[in-house]
Amino acid sequence: MSTEAIERRVQASFAQTFRALERRLIALLDELHEQDGLLVSDQFNLARLDKTIRLLRVDLSAAGYDSAIQDQLAGIEEIKDAILAESGKLNLPEEFGAESESMLSMLAQGAEEELLTVADAAAGAVAQALRRAAVGGLKLTDLILSIAATLDIYEGQAKTLVTTTLHSLHSSVRVKHFTDAGVEWFLYAGPDDDVTREWCSHFVGTRVTPAILEEHASEWGREGKTPLRPVTSWRGGWNCRHELIPLLGKGGYREGPGK
Ligand SMILES: [Zn+2]
CA of 225 to the centre of ligand 1 (A): 16
pLDDT in tens, the chain (259 residues): 677 888 899 899 999 999 999 998 888 888 888 888 888 888 888 888 888 888 888 888 888 888 988 888 888 888 877 777 777 777 666 665 556 667 677 777 888 888 889 999 999 999 988 888 877 767 888 889 999 999 999 999 999 888 888 887 788 888 888 888 889 999 999 999 999 999 999 999 999 999 999 999 889 988 766 556 778 878 888 778 898 999 988 889 999 998 6
CA of 139 to the centre of ligand 1 (A): 46
CA of 222 to the centre of ligand 1 (A): 12
The predicted structure's pLDDT at residue 227: 59
The predicted structure's pLDDT at residue 94: 61
The predicted structure's pLDDT at residue 189: 93
CA of 237 to the centre of ligand 1 (A): 7
CA of 206 to the centre of ligand 1 (A): 13
79 and 169 Cβ atoms separated by less than 8 Å = yes
CA of 145 to the centre of ligand 1 (A): 37
The predicted structure's pLDDT at residue 197: 93
Q: Round to whole Å and give the CA distance between 150 and 122.
A: 7
pTM assigned to the model: 0.75
CA of 208 to the centre of ligand 1 (A): 14
> Any alpha helices (H) in the chain, and if so which ranges?
3-30, 43-62, 65-89, 98-134, 140-180, 198-201, 210-215, 231-234
The predicted structure's pLDDT at residue 107: 72
Q: Round to whole Å and give the CA distance between 137 and 215.
A: 58
Q: Round to whole Å and give the CA distance between 42 and 44.
A: 6
